[in-house]
Amino acid sequence: MLTATGTNFVSGTTILWNGASLSTAFSSTTELTGKVTAAQIATPGKVSIRVMKPDSTTSSTLTLTITGSSFNLTSISPPAVTAGSGSFTLTATGRGFVSGAAITLNDAALATSFDSATQLHATVAASAVATAGAITVGVTNPDKTTTNTLLLTVTPAPLGPVPTLVSIDPNTSPAGIVTPLALTATGTNFVSGSQVMWNGVAMATTFVSATQLTASIPPNYFTNANLGTVNVFVVNPDSTVSNELPFTITASPETVPVLTAIANPAGTNSSQVGDAAFTLILTGTLFGPGAVACLGSPGQPRACAQDLPTTFIDSGTATAQIPASALAAVAEIPVMIRNAQSAPSNPLPYYVGINIYGDEAADVVWDPQQNLLYVSKPSTSSGNADMVMAFTPQQLTDGGAVWIYQFPVNSNPDRLALSPDGKYLYVGLDGAGLVQQLVLSGTTTTPTAGNTISIGSDPASGPYYAMDLQISPLDFNTIAVARGIPLVSKAATIAQGGVAIYDGTTQRPSIVSPSSLPIPPLLDTIQWSVDGSTIYAVNNENASGNLYELAVSPSGVTLAAADDHPGLFTIPNPYIHLDPISGFIYGDDGLIVDPGTANVQPYNFLVNGVMTPDVSTDTANFVAHTPADPNVLEYFVYQFDLNTTAPGPTLDLYTVQGIPQHLIRWDNAGYGTSGLAFTTQKFNCVYSPCNVGDGQLYVINLPF
């Protein structure tokens, strides 16, 4: 520190060292201090000292004499080395050295040889100059006095030629190997110490020549979790990096692949009957080279019946050619893929002549006047809940809806009934204790609200809901409702509200409820007789399977003990259906009952599921399990002769999502097409394998 004393100093006055400003501190009007560096006094000589005010006026000049030190460092040799050049001898020149003096690098003493009072030398290890930078060099005498320091510059090493990777052999391997893979890398500019890198991880590498390396890849890098492409490259000791080459890990031939999705060029998994051949995209995991896609057959959905020309793309993608012959008839075709030595994957369905609405639908009815399907969407629908939507059978998407009628949140639309003249659509609103009449007015026009019918409530369990509802054949403003209490009530029986008739919004006073007879009648599903004088009701809650004949009058309905016929229907039997020509009642359980005699007919349909009779074609249509094994979750569509019960065509639906609930027949005369439609509902698992998917709407074209 240099102190300058004088007069008339002001703040901002600086000390000049040979005309150059020092870092100066203003102490007072008579004193300044300036910082002098070691380099400025390293060499003996004379220095002119002045002070300069902020207005550039300067003082007189004084001379500072720098005398020679008896102990200093004047030079080092070499003053610079190249990083990585190895060990070398460093010579220090100066004055005042004594025996035992040590050269220091960054204050660390080296083993030093004393040459003279003016020279020392020491060996600098290669590790000290392995990387570029600056090193502080000084000398320390045995009495711990130290010289000034000088800098040893370590310059970056010039990079060697960049390695080039031309090929790797092998460049593919299946997963599951149990011994290390020997990999040969061929290229240029390899050197001793070059390493093969596997996705950035250094492998044990052997230098063979400037054009060849070998590496050992451990087997733990070849599992199914590693399927796909690995980047292989070479790094030389000077950190120069080669280009990358791909190494592909494929599924082993024995690995069973997993199929997660299939799609045609339109991005769907369905075609119409008679469509042309196309390329199917298969997506999944664990696909291997040589994988082959295949089609299953009815009755054997998990066995390959027809192999398809297949192109392997990668472990998760393949394409297959679907022939036109596979699209010649209505079908749900199982699609699978297998590796060269594996069993087939899980099957996924490809639908021909079958359209699916992939969200929960509670009920569906067909309007032959407008050629539309009306679908109720419950509160539990994942999208577009609490509404009724109108669709054509060919366009089952939310965006393709012809119209949408929105109900309040949690109204929970369920059962539907359409008047024969196509004027009224009745909707049971389970969450509101109502039946809402909608007035229809054309194909594309959203209906308007008609009568809002309150169907009452249970004192203990709250509002009733419409377990079933049917329109009077005599007056389309009159409906009959089988009233139930919510399932959440956990009551032993659901049909606690009985059957009531409503004219418009007015309930007829006489109802039939569980208290009507000594043995309480349970009225779960109902049908009007053709002449409107009787309502047939069936108990589908317990094994008694009663058929009840309710007499209809202007005051309501009554039930005589003689009109309670136990033990006719089996359980489960969700709904009954009336043939208006024969007058027979058909159960979803496959039984046929003549209500005139209250007898089960000697000939019946040997299935139990959901059904719809079609008097226009004299067919009975069912969606049901196979009679041989009713516990599996594979369904079939059965057709029978309505009059003789002779079996007809059968369609295998091996992946129905949910439990079928309501089946209808539709006939689109304007387009010359017809078919069936049914809804499904999500249920808790009872059997295994278990299908717990959300409900859907299935539309099937006929014939099949």
Enter the CATH code of domain 258-352.
2.60.40.10
Q: 605 pLDDT band (50/70/90 cuts)?
A: very high
Q: Determine the topology of domain 456-604 in CATH.
A: Methylamine Dehydrogenase; Chain H (2.130.10)
pLDDT greater than 80 at residue 235: yes
SS (H, E, C) 56-84: CCECCCEEEEECCCCCEEEEEECCEEECC
- Where residue 128 falls (left for φ over 0; alpha for ψ -120 to 50; beta otherwise) is alpha
For residue 70, the model assigns a pLDDT of 75
Scanning 371-523, the segments in alpha helix (DSSP H) are none
Place of tokens 């240099």: 2
Report pLDDT digits (tens) over 568-600: 888 778 899 999 999 999 999 999 999 988 889
Whether pLDDT at 38 is above 70 = no
Average pLDDT of the segment spanning 510-519: 88
Given a contact cutoff of 8 angstroms between Cβ atoms, the answer to whether 223 and 176 are in contact is yes
How confident is the model over 305-338, as pLDDT tens digits?
999 999 999 999 999 999 999 999 999 999 999 9
pLDDT at site 489: 52
**According to CATH, what is the number of the domain 164-250?**
2.60.40.10
Tell me 630's DSSP state.
T
In CATH terms, the superfamily for domain 2-66 is Immunoglobulins (2.60.40.10)
Residue 297 clears pLDDT 70, i.e. is over it: yes
- 169 burial via Cβ count (<10 Å: 0-12, 13-18, 19+): exposed
**Whole-angstrom Cα distance, residue 319 to residue 470?**
50
Predicted local distance difference test score (pLDDT) of residue 30: 94
Q: What does the mean pLDDT of the chain come to?
A: 91
> At the topology level of CATH, where does 72-155 sit?
Immunoglobulin-like (2.60.40)
pLDDT for residue 45 = 78
| Helix, strand, coil fractions of the chain, as percent rounded to 5 | 5, 50, 45
pLDDT beyond 90 at 157: no
Name, in order, each residue with C-beta under 8 angstroms of 268's C-beta and a sequence gap of 6 or more: none
Backbone Cα Rg of the chain: 47
* Residue listed under structure tokens 């006026």: 57
**Predicted confidence (pLDDT) per residue in 441-468, tens digit:** 988 899 999 999 999 999 888 999 999 9
3-state SS of 510-549 is ECECCCCCCCCCCCCEEEECCCCCEEEEECCCCCCCCEEE
Query: What is the total residue count of the chain?
Result: 704
pLDDT band of 280, cuts 50, 70, 90: very high
> How many Å apart are CA 471 and CA 469, to the nearest integer?
7
Answer yes or no: is pLDDT of 672 > 80.
no
Query: Is the model's pLDDT at 405 over the cut of 70?
Result: yes
Three-state SS at 487: helix
| 456-604 has the same fold as 164-250 | no
The CA distance from 603 to 643, in Å, is: 9
Tokens (6 digits) for 213: 């390396």
- Can you tell me the distance from the alpha carbon of 479 to that of 192, in angstroms, rounded to the nearest whole number? 93
Confidence check: pLDDT of 270 > 90: yes
Q: In the predicted model, is pLDDT for residue 44 greater than 90? A: no
pLDDT band at 382 (very low <50, low <70, confident <90, very high): confident
Return the percentage of the chain with pLDDT > 70, whole number. 95
Which has the minimum average pLDDT: 316-320, 355-359, 469-473?
355-359
- 656 — pLDDT class (breaks 50, 70, 90): confident
Residue 229 pLDDT level (bands cut at 50, 70, 90) = very high
For the chain, what are the domain ranges? Answer: 2-66, 72-155, 164-250, 258-352, 456-604
Average pLDDT over residues 429-439: 97
